[in-house]
Structure 1
Amino acid sequence: MLRLLIVDDEATILDGLVELFHEAALPDLEINYASSGLQALRLIQMSKIDIVLTDIRMPGMSGLELFDCIRADYPRCRVVFLTGYNDFQYVQEVLRKGGVDYVLKMDGDDEIIAAVQKAIAAIGEDMDKERLIREARDRMRATVPLMQRELVQYLILGEPLSQETLAHRFTELDIPLKPDLPVFMVAGRTDSWNETLKPSEKALLSFAVQNIMEEFMPPSFSCLAVTLDSTFHMLWLIQPQSDMLASTEQRLQDLLESTQQAARSFLKLPLSFAASGEMAWTELGRTYGRLSELSYRSAGIGLEIAFLQDQRELVKEPGRQINDELRLKLRRFVFLEAHLDNHRESEFKRELSVLLHSVADTRAPLPIRLEVFHKVASLFLSYMNRMPYEDLDDSSRAMQMLTRFDLHASWDELSRYFLTFADELFIRRQKTQTDRGLEIVAQINSYIERNLASDLSLTRLGRVVFLNPAYLSRLYKQISGNGLSDVVTEKRMAKAKEILRTTDMKVQDVAAAVGLESPSYFARLFKRMTSLSPQEYRESQW
């Protein structure tokens, strides 16, 4: 939706131009008008205007002065000057600045419409695909570290990616690693922070630790370092040259010890590291879980230890593989939250079903079953707190089933309950959306009825219901089946008919009573809608 602002101090010309563009019905173009440069500038400051069609010679602020204000503060706004032959010398200099065009008043309606269409096309060219892609690439380069972190988070959450996809993503994000070669993982944390440090200062120190490790990194190692979360846990993915694999673990041990000592000496930071052995990329999720577990076990014992984890020995531990699978599924809980928050029903139910069945298939111990139950229940409760759910009180059966693990006879029964509850949540949300749409339409209709003499532009109506004007226009059409601008016009004409039938009010006052400042424009619009002039209609009702 683009907005055109027509500016002219002569009422007859202004009315004619407004009617011209209403009759032209250019798609997705909202018509606004102003009778002076100052009024136009106020409108531009209040709402986004895309094209200004303005006279040059006006009392107070001229069209050229208005252009200077627009160029300074709204450089994307296109300006088209309506000029006479005597004005061209003023326009010629302005034309060199770009973003401006002109049309002679004597050229006729078709040329005026064509000039505005040219401005519309120019706006489209400004948003062309090639430029957008170029700007997106520039922005992407600035956000590469964040995107690298996001990719690592997906990998440690067990998100499957093919070698080909990984290779493409590594190239795209300047990651100096190869998906067809084994990799080592190092998890690092600061054992204790100075309590006076701000989050920004902690982030800076985390980057400093990464820089220290990079300084000590052997030339034969390629590395990606990321800071994972708000606790400033650090993760390194390290890949040695293929002919150096045999000595990697010892070289890695030396690297961690050197980094530890330097961080303690220069940054006063006590660090702990947990490092894996050689692994395939498909093992990232399970390995990260094991490293996290070891970090938790060693937390709080006051040791700044660097240790290597023997993958083969861990696999031999009783229940290790089952526990790894469950922990991996639990870390994917962030996907459940994202799917629910973004109302992705099929993805949410699929992810929830996988999680619940994993607990059943592995015969998880009671603590893990309780953890899963309370995580899912809390997720549902958080979602419910953001939408109408008045019929669930503390004593309702549904609330008890949602919050009491002991009321479920088996894990299978609990799983069926959660999946059924998810169905109900999405059904209720759809109904809430529909009800909200109907409520917005009713609110808009009521506002129009009560404010026929006021500003009823899409911009103003959007502010009434706190929605973008273009979105409001689409929503209103989708819900009611009628165009919002058409409804405003019909209601204004219906009110005008009522006034003409029941009073002897002057036509110019009738126009003002239905929000149309120009009597001549009102008369033309009324005749177009009824095939009668206002006076003819009044006489036909006597």
Structure 2
Amino acid sequence: MVTMLVVDDEIYALKGITQGIEWGDLPIARILEADSVPEARRQLEANQVDLVISDIEMPGASGMELLRFIKEACPATLTIFLTGHARFEYAQEAMRHGCFEYVLKPVDHDALKEIVRRAVAEIEERRAQQAFEETLETYRRQWTNQLPILVERFWQEALAAGLPASPDRLSREYATYDIPLSAGDPVLPVLLSVEQWDVGLDGRDERIMEYALRKAAAEIIVGAEGAGAALQDRAQQSLVLLYKANEARGEVLQRCSEYIRACREYFHCTVSCYVGEPAAPQALAAELERLSRVERANVAQPASVIDASNGAGHAGSAAAAVMAVSGQTLPPFMEWSILLDGGSVAELEAAISDALRRMKEEGAGRESLELFYYGYVHMLYQSALRRGVPAGELLSQQELAEGLAARTPDGMTAWALRLLAKTNAALLDRQRDASAVIAKIQSYVQEHLSEELGREEIARAVYRNPAYLSRLFRKETGMSLTDYIAQAKIERAKRLLTETNDKISNIAEGLGYLHFSYFAKLFRKIAGVTPQDYRKKHQSM
């Protein structure tokens, strides 16, 4: 509700506004009166006033002095001025001091009421924005002051590099981080996919709000018992890991639905949840890769709970079963992964050949070859996952079967080198494909700078899932899609300010900014000066 103050030294004009207009259909809680500027100042100091309607020309102190006082003491208060003289200097000074509207007397009551209606809508919009900024500031402080918890680090390392193969060691790791799991217990992954923000956020604030979304997921999806973790993996995917993997699936889906509604209501964003299959910890990376593939294919069901159960097994679980019963030393797959990620294919080929040659000299048997097979496949899958290549597109069932069928180190060497060549080609193709998608995005943005652009419509234009598209853009360019759009618009504004004499407000509207104050704030943030100062500097050169 709004408190309004009416200031006029003419009693009939004052009462005509406060009592002669029916204000009941507007959210106005109180209407205060003042017949002079000193009385108006007392009212402003004693009350929280949201809107002032004031005559400009009054005996003693003028309405313009009142406006200057309001700007200094009550900057959030909107002001509507009334005057009997159409003097341009009055209007010019009033607007310079932030007057909401300037109206000539005699005032039509219906017209004045409509102006007040717009002012009230502006006040409510500012309040909503302030409430959101306060929420954002709360989570910004939390994000800044809190270090990542140890459990989140543990799962990030586990998803990137794999868990210990020994059940005893894995149990000790769980005990260290107070994770209520035994070595063989499955975990249920839920991928959280942010598809659209309904408010303008730069890249930093977007990350902060994603942190807030994970906190909310911990409360709603994991629940008060804390039988799970909400985290972000190294591919910048937000996810939930539920330790009670075998609880009723319907309850998990219901909590995900509640989470999606909460995100819409409290965080102003559209989110989908992809609920996977229970997986052994060693197979989580493969299951999350499968969920990512489902996410990328989802372009028609925003704000949905996607039950991505399929009952299919994964190579990672078989690897865990074999590797858990053997203490044999395996090749340095982690180092090999670094070589593959860095494009050192020739060096990796030599390392593979050398490792299998030593296995041949040592008389390696069938079990050793199987251990090599599973470790090698896991290494390829992990590298592919980090580069956004689905495991299902990387290796065919026939190629996997050929590796399992290899009976000698020489046969395994030939198979491993063939897969390395194919994997490297797939990674290079994906990099080129990603570059092509980024180029399409940048082209689309440049062609639609006059519109209010969001990731959802851009994703539709390039036929990609919006959440995946946002992560891809950030990964490939080092900046968020929101920041890129803002910078592109401000660069266009700079050119128009320099090359044309268009009004700055028209330039802002032409770039899709309906609120001039937001445009001016964004311009100064990016360019370092106001639009007015930028024009003065560059048009005088």
TM-score by length of 2: 0.33
Answer with 1 or 2: which has the greater Rg: 1
